[in-house]
């Protein structure tokens, strides 16, 4: 790039100096140059012309330069007169002979000395040059420019450049105009589409233009130097094309090289795979080369056969000399010479074991000739299997058959050939000299069994393992014997005759034993059948009970969540009721909403009753009085079309039941019976004592109707929750399920007996109870009671907690809240006096409700405690640590129930208890910030584990090996060891055992990408953390360890 710029600068300098020198020829007067004329190059580019490098300069007024002052470059030299004369070539003669009178220059005789000298300079110039004279640009040029003109020469002499080059007319007009304005112009790399030799050609030029001025400074013409660079441009384009092609070929070559390398790698892999197959083949294989059968390759099976002797490179005769005399070398010679393979079966070979003994082996093998492309044999491939064990097994089988009286036979159906063993003849009683045929055998089978014995169908055995038994008449003794036969088809080649192998044996003694067993079984079956029926009935009852229990668990969970939702709704509705004004419409709507909550509460109550999770309040009850008191209610429920009959004796035993629940159950049964009778029929309620029942007797209630009845499949499902035969919207399907749950929870039994068209009979049996009958008391009305004490409310559900808090605040109490047991302990430590702890039974977190209650009782004996739960838990289901005297408030509760229960607990006297100092501080602070020792040989994984533990609130120290960990454990104490199982060197389980020995209190977590890897420690088992693990899994282990540490510290 620098050389091109320098070259352009030198050329421009020469042009400037040439203009000056021309204007200073002898006889010409010095005049100042004409002012530069601006020239707009935007007009270029028309007529297919492009000028990438162009400049226009005005004339130079430096009159001190002459032709003798041209710069002396390394390529510059002066020419002598002879050389200058030689430059005046054919074009110079044409210029001299041309009639210039017809041009703007006029006759040559009238040319000025300056124009004569300038013309002489042009025609003698060694570079293509032309003089564009006057505004028309009349051409006068030399031999070099004539070459550029081509066929336009010599007609172009004396013609206007605008007419000679019409395809570049706009460009030349601009050049002439700029030159007439006194500007020097340079165009390097100019591209034109010119008509040359009769066709348009793309041409490139370096063009240099200098104005020619007279003594007065007027521009008379433009001197043009034209250097054609078309060949150089084409050469550069060709070089670029070749370079592009070379780059493309290089890319293609790289791709071919990559494919070749991949193919080579695949070939190497295939060779390795084939070699692996060769070595791992269960068949013994070897490759023998040359007429001496020299060992080239052997696989592991062949090496094992010859006791791993070093045979590679040795001839067979030298490597295994013991086989030379056994004929195998002769077989190999024959295969090598003839090129025909040899296949041997059950051939015996004696092999030297190397300890002076010889071992007999029986082999199946093939000698396969190896041939080159010309078909010449160059070696033998040996492949075979050692069938010694199989041959010995066949021999042992033959001996065993003879000893065990098992006969064998071979059957060829195409030729009807039957080959039998000696034992076969003895079992049938066929003399040795008697041919065994199918007809003979069929005749010896009892006639009644010939059609089913299969003897007559030996050729059509469809089942290869077909087994038949049939009685025969022994050919020698004439006694009746039972023969058992089993046959199997032996696979044959496509051109071989089918063959069946079979065995027979005498089963006469077994048949006799079977008959005796059948006789015994007939008597046993009669005795067992009744017991089996009873057992099946019991199993059906057990399965039904298990099914009902599972559905009950589901119902309990649904009721719990439903109660929480109802509690939120109920609490907010009651708060709205307190805050609303006297608007009757709003209060009416609010009343409807509260009634809907109560209906939902009853539905939840029924679910809990079925699940037997509803707490009962049993008292010794007189069912006769209860049932008679219900008669008016039942009659109203049944209607006028149904007759009610009650049989309730006065001497009925008492039973311990929840009076309200029993009344509800009887009413449910009566309503179901009414619906089944469709408004017309009879309902009987019968009470009686059943002394035969368990637990000293039962009190039975039977409810019978004359309705449509139920088929067995419906009766089997009547106690399932949500099962109903009524139309949609006519029932919830919970009535009978609630009765079922109540009876079972009360220790009783319930049974249904029904059939279509015969009505339904339901019998309830309740345990007998001795004692004084409790009188029925009306349910007291509880007015909302208020107070100003401090209550700590502990509830994990935010909505329930907010609603309950608003209710208590509305009753005048000061309310503190906590969402778990840990927060509650913190509040109790710093809140001053707390009068009542009101907590949910189901409490998540490390401190559950039982532990919270126990700690509160121990440290704050004057604080009252009240529990609540959406499960409406029976006390028998509470945590054993929970004191029995604590009151339970089931969800959902009303404002009145809440106010009364809270007031009752606050007003109840409490026995002082010895406080335990610091009970709330039993969990040390260190339990909340465990110190982990992380052992992971991957540095990045180790650092990441430490970062995760830090994010989870723990301290962590990481090391990369078990050795570093053991050294650190000898110096510092840690809470938890978190180690990878697959460590480099000592494994993680080994490290865990040694670490537990150094620090017995150390907890251990083993992480592995292979799933669970149980690790037994001196003081227990390690926790498992399968990789990849997430924060929740690790947090779960941390929570477990913190809870264990907190409980240990508390005790």
User: Which tens digits make up the pLDDT trace of 895-908?
Assistant: 888 888 899 889 87
How confident is the model over 156-175, as a mean pLDDT?
94
DSSP state of 876: G
How far, in Å, CA of 1045 to CA of 930, rounded?
10
How confident is the model over 344-392, as pLDDT tens digits?
998 999 998 878 788 899 999 999 999 999 999 999 999 999 999 888 8
State which of 66-70, 732-736, 995-999 shows the largest mean pLDDT. Answer: 995-999
Of 462 and 930, the one with more pLDDT: 930
Neighbours of 894 (CB within 10 A): 19
CA separation (Å) from 397 to 178, 389, 402, 404, 406? 122, 12, 9, 10, 10
390 with 446: CB under 8 angstroms?
no
Q: In terms of pTM, does the model score above 0.95?
A: no
Cα 26 from Cα 232, distance rounded (Å): 40
Instruction: Report which of 746, 736, 753, 752 is spatially closest to residue 699, judged by C-alpha positions.
Output: 746
Confidence of residue 951 (pLDDT cuts 50, 70, 90): confident
For residue 357, report the phi and psi dihedrals to the nearest 5 degrees: -110, 160
Most confident of 83-92, 480-489, 956-965: 956-965
The Cα–Cα gap between 20 and 16 comes to 7
Q: What is the pLDDT of residue 577?
A: 65
Cβ atoms 236, 243 nearer than 8 A: no
- Edge to edge, the sheet with strand 199-213 lists 53-58, 183-196, 199-213, 219-228, 129-133, 138-141
- Whether residue 192 is predicted with pLDDT greater than 90 in this model: the reply is yes
> What is the residue whose two structure tokens read 């025909």?
340
pLDDT per position as a tens digit, 46-63: 344 444 444 544 444 443
Residue-wise pLDDT for 440-473, tens only, equals: 888 888 888 877 655 555 444 455 447 888 899 9
Give me the pLDDT at residue 96, please: 87
Please state whether 95 falls in left (phi above 0), alpha (psi between -120 and 50) or beta. alpha
Question: pLDDT band at residue 567, thresholds of 50, 70 and 90?
Answer: low
Residue 477 DSSP class: T
**18-52 pLDDT tens trace:** 443 333 333 333 333 333 333 343 333 334 444 44
Domains of the chain and CATH, by start: 2-68+81-228 (3.30.450.20), 281-390 (3.30.450.20), 405-506 (3.30.450.310), 615-767 (3.30.565.10), 925-1050 (3.40.50.2300)
Rounded to an integer, what distance in angstroms lies between the CA atom of residue 981 and that of residue 990?
9
- Segment 572-625, tens digit of pLDDT: 666 666 666 556 767 677 776 776 766 666 666 555 555 544 556 788 999 999
| Distance, CA of 801 to chain centre | 40
Q: How far apart are CA 567 and CA 800, in angstroms?
A: 6
Mean pLDDT across 469-482: 89
- The HSE-up count of residue 478 (CA atoms within 13 Å, CB side) is 0
In the predicted structure, residue 927 carries a pLDDT above the cut 50: no
Q: Look at residue 240 in the predicted model and tell me its pLDDT.
A: 94
Query: Which tokens go with 950?
Result: 């830090």
Q: Note whether 291 and 300 are within 8 A (CB).
A: no
Peptide bond into 114 cis (omega under 30): no
- Separation CA 750–CA 747 (nearest Å): 10
> According to the per-residue pLDDT averaged within each range, which of 324-338, 487-501, 738-752, 910-924 is highest?
324-338
Pairing assessment for the beta strands 681-690 and 377-386 based on DSSP bridges: unpaired
Q: From CA 24, how far away is CA 29, in angstroms rounded?
A: 7
Q: Which residue has the tokens 């309503």?
A: 671
Q: Any idea of the CA torsion for 576, 578, 579, 580, to the nearest 10 degrees?
A: 80
Q: 856-870, 904-918, 961-975: which range is least confident on average?
A: 904-918
Q: What is the structure's pLDDT at 1028?
A: 62
pLDDT tens readout for residues 698-727: 999 999 999 999 998 888 888 877 667 766
Phi first, then psi: give them for residue 430, nearest 5 degrees.
-100, 125
What is the SS3 string spanning 818-835? Answer: ECCHHHHHHHHHHCCCCC
- The CB-side HSE value for 785 (13 A sphere, CA atoms) comes to 15
Task: Provide the phi-psi class of 197: left if phi over 0, else alpha when psi is between -120 and 50, else beta.
Answer: left
Nearest to 468 by CA among 499, 432, 505: 505
Per the prediction, the chain carries an average pLDDT of: 79
Measured on CA atoms in the order 165, 171, 175, 178, is the torsion positive or negative?
A: positive
Contacts of 639 (CB under 8 A, 6+ apart): 674, 679
pLDDT of residue 187: 96
Q: What is the pLDDT of residues 513-552, one digit of tens each?
A: 888 888 888 777 777 776 777 667 666 655 655 555 556 5
Residues 609, 969: Cα–Cα separation, whole Å: 58
Residue 69's contacts (CB-CB under 8 Å, 6 or more residues apart) are: 17
pLDDT at 780 over 50: no
Determine the distance from the C-alpha atom of residue 905 to the mean position of all C-alpha atoms in its chain, rounded to a whole number. Answer: 56
């Amino acid at each position: 790039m620098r050389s091109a710029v320098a070259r352009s600068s030198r050329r421009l300098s020469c042009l400037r100096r040439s203009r000056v020198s021309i204007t200073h020829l002898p006889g010409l007067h010095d005049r100042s140059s004409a002012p530069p004329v601006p020239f707009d190059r935007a007009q270029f580019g028309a007529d297919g012309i492009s000028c990438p490098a162009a400049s226009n300069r005005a004339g130079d007024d430096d009159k001190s330069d002459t032709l003798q002052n041209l710069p002396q470059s390394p390529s510059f030299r002066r020419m002598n007169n002879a050389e200058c004369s030689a430059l005046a070539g054919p074009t110079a003669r044409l210029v001299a002979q041309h009639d210039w009178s017809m041009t703007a220059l006029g006759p040559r005789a009238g040319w000025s000395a300056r124009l004569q000298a300038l013309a002489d300079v042009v025609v003698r110039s060694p570079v293509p040059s032309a003089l564009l004279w006057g505004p028309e640009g009349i051409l006068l040029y030399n031999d070099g420019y004539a070459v550029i003109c081509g066929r336009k020469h010599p007609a172009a002499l004396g013609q206007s450049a605008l007419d000679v080059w019409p395809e570049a007319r706009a460009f030349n007009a601009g050049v002439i105009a700029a030159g007439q304005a006194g500007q020097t112009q340079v165009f390097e790399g100019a591209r034109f589409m010119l008509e040359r030799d009769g066709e348009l050609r793309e041409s490139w030029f370096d063009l240099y233009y200098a104005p020619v001025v007279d003594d007065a400074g007027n521009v008379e013409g433009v001197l043009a130097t034209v250097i054609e660079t078309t060949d150089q441009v084409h050469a550069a384009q060709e070089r670029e094309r070749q370079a592009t092609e070379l780059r493309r070929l290089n890319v293609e070559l790289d791709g071919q090289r990559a494919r070749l390398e991949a193919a080579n790698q695949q070939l190497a892999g295939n060779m390795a795979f084939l070699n692996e197959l060769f070595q791992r083949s269960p068949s013994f294989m070897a490759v023998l080369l040359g007429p001496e059968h020299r060992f080239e390759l052997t696989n592991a099976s062949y090496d094992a056969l010859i006791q791993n002797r070093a045979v590679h490179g040795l001839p067979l005769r030298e490597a295994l000399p013991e086989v030379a005399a056994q004929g195998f070398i002769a077989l190999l010679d024959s295969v090598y010479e003839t090129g025909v393979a040899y296949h041997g079966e059950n051939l015996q070979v004696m092999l030297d074991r190397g300890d002076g003994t010889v071992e007999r082996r029986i082999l199946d093998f093939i000698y396969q000739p190896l041939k080159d492309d010309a078909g010449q044999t160059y070696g033998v491939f040996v492949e075979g299997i050692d069938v010694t064990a199989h041959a010995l097994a066949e021999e042992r089988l033959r001996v065993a058959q003879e000893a065990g009286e098992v006969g064998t036979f071979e059957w060829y159906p195409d030729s009807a050939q039957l080959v039998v063993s000696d034992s076969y003849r003895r079992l049938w009683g066929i003399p040795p000299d008697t041919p065994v045929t199918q007809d003979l055998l069929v005749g010896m089978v009892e006639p009644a069994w010939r059609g089913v014995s299969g003897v007559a169908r030996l050729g059509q055995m469809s089942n290869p393992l077909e087994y038949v038994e049939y009685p025969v008449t022994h050919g020698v003794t004439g006694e009746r014997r039972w023969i058992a036969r089993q046959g199997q088809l032996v696979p044959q080649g496509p051109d071989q005759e089918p063959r069946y192998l079979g065995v027979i044996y005498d089963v006469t003694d077994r048949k006799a034993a079977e008959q005796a067993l059948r006789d015994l079984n007939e008597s046993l079956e009669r005795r067992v059948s009744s017991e089996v029926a009873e057992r099946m009935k019991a199993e059906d009852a057990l399965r039904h009970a298990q099914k009902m229990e599972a559905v009950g668990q589901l119902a309990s969970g649904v009721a719990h969540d439903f109660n929480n939702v109802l509690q939120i709704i109920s609490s907010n509705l009651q708060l709205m009721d307190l805050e609303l004004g006297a608007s009757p419409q709003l209060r009416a709507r609010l009343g409807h909403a509260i009634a809907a909550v109560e209906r939902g509460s009853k539905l939840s109550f029924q679910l809990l009753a079925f699940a037997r999770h509803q707490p009962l309040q049993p008292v010794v009850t007189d069912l006769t009085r209860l049932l008679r008191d219900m008669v008016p209610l039942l009659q109203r429920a049944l209607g006028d079309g149904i007759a009610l009959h009650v049989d309730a004796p006065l001497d009925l035993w008492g039973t311990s039941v929840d009076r309200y629940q029993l009344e509800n159950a009887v009413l449910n049964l009566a309503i179901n019976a009414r619906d089944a009778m469709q408004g017309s029929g009879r309902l009987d309620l019968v009470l009686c004592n059943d002394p035969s029942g368990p637990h000293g007797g039962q009190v039975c209630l039977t409810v019978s109707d004359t309705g449509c009845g139920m088929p067995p499949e419906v009766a089997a499902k009547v106690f399932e929750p949500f099962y109903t035969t009524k139309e949609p919207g006519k029932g919830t399907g919970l009535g009978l399920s609630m009765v079922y749950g109540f009876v079972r929870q009360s220790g009783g039994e319930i049974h249904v007996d029904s059939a279509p068209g015969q009505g339904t009979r339901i019998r309830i049996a309740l345990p007998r109870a001795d004692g004084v009958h409790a009188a029925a008391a009306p349910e007291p009305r509880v007015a909302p009671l208020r107070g100003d004490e401090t209550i700590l409310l502990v509830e994990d559900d935010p909505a329930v907690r907010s609603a309950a808090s608003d209710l208590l605040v509305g009753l005048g109490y000061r309310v503190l809240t906590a969402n778990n047991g840990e927060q509650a302990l913190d509040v109790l430590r710093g809140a001053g006096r707390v009068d009542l702890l009101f907590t949910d039974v189901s409490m998540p977190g490390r401190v559950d409700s039982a532990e919270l209650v126990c700690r509160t009782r121990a440290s704050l004996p004057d604080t009252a405690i009240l529990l609540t739960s959406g499960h409406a838990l029976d006390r028998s289901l509470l945590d054993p640590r929970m004191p029995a005297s604590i009151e339970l408030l089931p969800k959902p509760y009303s404002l009145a129930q809440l106010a009364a229960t809270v007031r009752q607990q606050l007003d109840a006297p409490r026995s002082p208890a010895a406080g335990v100092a610091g009970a709330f501080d039993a969990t040390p602070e260190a339990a909340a910030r465990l110190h982990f020792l992380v052992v992971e040989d991957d540095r990045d994984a180790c650092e990441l584990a430490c970062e995760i533990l830090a994010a989870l609130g723990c301290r962590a120290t990481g090391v990369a090996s078990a050795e570093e960990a053991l050294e650190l454990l000898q110096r510092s104490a840690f809470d938890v060891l978190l180690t990878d199982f697959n460590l480099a060197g000592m494994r993680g389980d080994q490290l865990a055992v040694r670490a537990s020995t150094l620090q017995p209190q150390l907890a251990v977590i083993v992480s592995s990408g292979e799933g669970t890897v149980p690790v037994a420690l001196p003081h227990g088992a390690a926790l498992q953390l399968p990789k990849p693990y997430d924060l929740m899994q690790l947090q779960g282990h941390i929570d477990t360890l913190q809870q264990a540490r907190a409980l240990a510290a508390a005790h």
